[in-house]
Amino acid sequence: MLASGVLLASLLVAAVLIWLRRDRRYQSSESVASAYDAWTDDRLLERLWGEHVHLGHYGDPPASRDFRRAKEAFVHELIRWSGLDQLPPGSKLIDVGCGIGGSARILARDYGFDVLGISISPVQVRRATELTPEGLSCRFAVMDALELDCPNHSFDAVWSVEAGPHMPDKQRYADELLRVLRPGGHLAVADWNRRDPSDGEMNRRERWVMRQLLNQWAHPEFASIKGFQTNLDVSDHHQSVVETADWTSATLPSWIDSIAEGVRRPGAVLGLGPSAVLQGLRETPTLLLMHWAFATGLMQFGVFRLKR
């Protein structure tokens, strides 16, 4: 027991030291692709969190819920809130920043949509394709969200979850989402957003936390909810009034659950070897900082739709 405790403490110290020295700051779209290639290849996130590399929805007020079920619930909640459930089966949808395809498969399987999932990471696209059953109307392609290789107005719905923080040009991101959406189509965007400067400038502690949140996970910048709403509203492809909501409360338990999954499913980590244990510990400080930032109002979880 003593030996295992010493080993765990040693791993934790090593993980923190690596975290303090590590710099994954955004350099280019290639640096984002490389980060997601690595995270997908090592399978740690998939083994711990399942097919959905995004936050869960726990209700408002939040209630106890299995982490993986909360992730699936998030998809259905966003579908209902954005009005995608009003679209008929066969509607064409693009999932911008599809990860390993968890949301795309639900959209195709449960709602009958014809889904194209895109990611800048070739390894994510390969894994998403491997996980998708034959016969499901769901395919994946490597594509840059800032330069979608799709004609104007080619989709009935556009879906994008937690992709915006990786976009260096938020206006271009908004423009591309709306460019490929047909007139009268449905938009569903959910993202990690910073507090708007008009609601209070960051203090010294918050600036340090923000630097970590950006640099640890290859984010060039976070938009605020107000800021990205403006990006959508002023786009040359603007279609109608953009409505927003703040889902911070409903998604907040996800951060601690992200860490707790390693305790609940120890075999998922241990089965990948000692390096996976170290990696899991290494990501823990950033997850805790994310929880703190969302709990204190430095960050907000924003959702965006076109006026229904």
Q: Which domain holds residue 207?
A: 29-306
In this predicted structure, what is the pLDDT of residue 277?
73
The answer to whether residue 50 sits within a structural domain is yes
Helix 170-179 vs helix 225-233: crossing angle, to nearest 10:
50
In this predicted structure, what is the pLDDT of residue 151?
97
The answer to whether residue 139 sits within a structural domain is yes
The answer to whether residue 23 sits within a structural domain is no
How far out from the chain centre does Cα 173 lie?
A: 15
- Look up residue 224 and give its DSSP letter: B
- Number of domains into which the chain is organized: 1
CATH label of the domain that carries residue 257: 3.40.50.150
In this predicted structure, what is the pLDDT of residue 7?
44
How far out from the chain centre does Cα 238 lie?
A: 24
Run means of pLDDT, 10 residues per run, the chain, 308 residues: 48 51 72 79 82 94 92 98 97 97 98 98 95 97 97 98 96 98 96 97 97 92 98 92 97 95 80 75 90 98 91
Here the tokens at position 135 are 């016969």
The answer to whether residue 19 sits within a structural domain is no
CA distances from 190 to 60, 243, 245 (A): 16, 12, 10
In this predicted structure, what is the pLDDT of residue 11?
47
The answer to whether residue 167 sits within a structural domain is yes
In this predicted structure, what is the pLDDT of residue 21?
54
Q: What pLDDT, in 10s, does the model give residues 68-79? A: 999 999 999 999
In this predicted structure, what is the pLDDT of residue 239?
79
The answer to whether residue 9 sits within a structural domain is no
The answer to whether residue 17 sits within a structural domain is no
Q: What is the DSSP string of 36-62?
A: HHHHHHT-HHHHHHTT--S----TTTT
In this predicted structure, what is the pLDDT of residue 278?
76
The answer to whether residue 10 sits within a structural domain is no
Q: What pLDDT, in 10s, does the model give residues 99-134? A: 999 999 999 999 999 999 999 999 999 999 999 999
In this predicted structure, what is the pLDDT of residue 58?
97
Cα separation, 94 vs 117, in Å, equals 6
